[in-house]
Structure 1
Amino acid sequence: MMGEAEPIRVAVVDDQPVFRAGLQMLIDSQQDMVVCATGGDGEAAVALAATHSPDIILMDLRMPVMNGIAATSAITAGQEAGHEGPKIIALTTFNRDRAAIDAIRSGASGYVLKSAEPEFLLAAIRTVNSGFAVIAPEATHDLFTHAPDTGPAREPTPQLEAIAALTPREKDIFLLVAKGLSNADIAKRVYVSEATVKSDVRSILKKLSLLNRMQIVAYAYEHYLIPRAAASRN
């Protein structure tokens, strides 16, 4: 008889003890996941990431001592150097939250509203643990289209030099990923196998020093490779 799979190890980091305890009760009620650590600020998140080796960290974005964005950046820094580490799901109160964009750019695999249904949160944990984004690409487009831009003013023209290192096919795949297409849909568009798409996506992430597909979306918007006005009409 084969042994059961190891449960998903989840860390919960939030500065509200009652909310943190509620998440712990919800997660521990599942057979396939367990809370391995909890913390109340970003510094605690960085410490528990190193000492408890969680698979997933639910990370509040607004916390004392160190906020969730800085903690996410600190935790994912080693992953950019090729080391494995926990995947991070940002927790936010607002749907169009600039902090969620910053968290994704810092390496989070997506974000979930604190008001989300429990089943959605549990599904998000399982989805991210499997290596996928936690929110639909359409939601990401909405976030990047409507969130206030606090960065320096720039002409809204495509900055094609940002993807100059990619091959022609990789550039095509980059833009299709940024538009939210699945690997299967991309494979049909560029007439290659899904395995080839997966390989090209890995190559794109490596060449652009990105961690996941969510960051491809962020990168595309940041360099005006996806028209914001067009996205807002979809």
Structure 2
Amino acid sequence: MPDPIRVLLADDHPVVRGGLSALLETLDGIVVVAEAEDGEAAIRETALHRPDVVVMDLRMPGMDGMAATRRITAGFPGTSVLVLTMFDEDALIAAALSAGARGYLLKGADQAEIERAIRAVGSGDAIFSSGVAERVLRRVTPDAPVRALPQLTSRERDVTDLLAAGLSNAAIADQLSLATKTVGNHISAIFLKLGVATRAEAIVVARQAGLGQGRAPDGSL
């Protein structure tokens, strides 16, 4: 008999975790090895149990599922992340894929779809719910325009470009004719969408995406 697929459930709602755990216990070849109520716990339990699959909610208190997904996929290559969330916005889908998730399901998925997704992700494949799959395909068609960090709005991308060039909040505000407080609010949203916690991490991610190029520290070209 092949080894069972070892699963960690990360969701801040105990009822959701309990329901998923009860569902998975009825399936052959799948075993729940741990649960986590937030992103930090998901990373900690992943390090402890080394599951094959983490079923990850995105919206959790403290460290959210996006940041946890990025940390887990970077630090534990033997573990795959399957996002299971209520939200199907394009920006979240793109951010989850950028963070390394191998699957994206909505919480309305039925038992058969959840089982199929866990087995696929546990085998190293990628899988998406039908509506999400259509959006992913549209994003990778040859005629689709490619944008750096597509989870960001146009204004957030402008701020990120200047941030990656090394400008301070005040200098960014001056360049974009914004209030410094508004720039700070944009940067907080950017940190959340990029799954980072510090300015330095945001700069690294932005520069890897090609932003911040061709500008002097004072913002000139």
User: If the length of structure 1 is used for normalisation, what is the TM-score?
Assistant: 0.58
- Match runs of 1:27-42 below 5 Å: 27-42=24-39
Query: Aligned equivalents of 2:103 and 2:24: distance in 1?
Result: 19
User: Against the structure 1 CA distance between its residues 97 and 17, is the aligned structure 2 distance closer, same or farther, given a 3 Å change threshold?
Assistant: farther
Worse-superposed segment, 24-33 or 88-97:
88-97
Query: Aligned equivalents of 2:36 and 2:58: distance in 1?
Result: 13
Does the 8 A contact of 1:89 with 1:109 survive in 2?
A: yes
Detail structure 1 runs of 4+ shifted over 4 Å in the superposition. Answer: 142-145
Query: Which of the residues 92, 104, 128 maps onto 1:99?
Result: 92
Q: Which one-letter code corresponds to 1:58 in the other structure? A: V
Q: Which one-letter code corresponds to 2:62 in the other structure? A: V
Pairwise CA distance, 1:97:
4.5
Pairwise CA distance, 1:110:
2.1
Aligned: 1:108 with 2:104: no
Does the 8 A contact of 2:80 with 2:121 survive in 1?
A: yes
Q: Which one-letter code corresponds to 1:12 in the other structure? A: L
- Match runs of 1:173-188 below 5 Å: none
Q: Which one-letter code corresponds to 1:110 in the other structure? A: G
Bigger radius of gyration: 2
Aligned: 1:141 with 2:133: no
Deviations 1:132-185 (A, max 9, x none): 11126534135787x8742526xxxxxxxxxxxxxxxxxxxxxxxxxxxxxxxx
Query: Aligned equivalents of 2:139 and 2:55: distance in 1?
Result: 19
Which consecutive residues of structure 1, in runs of 5 or more, have no partner in the other structure? 154-221, 224-234
Which residue matches 1:120? Answer: 113
Query: Aligned equivalents of 2:136 and 2:33: distance in 1?
Result: 29
Q: Which one-letter code corresponds to 1:140 in the other structure? A: V
SS of equivalent residue, structure 1 residue 152 = helix
Which residue matches 1:43? Answer: 40
Query: Which of the residues 152, 163, 171 maps onto 2:157?
Result: 152
Which consecutive residues of structure 2, in runs of 5 or more, have no partner in the other structure? 145-149, 159-208, 211-221
Query: Aligned equivalents of 1:22 and 1:142: distance in 2?
Result: 33
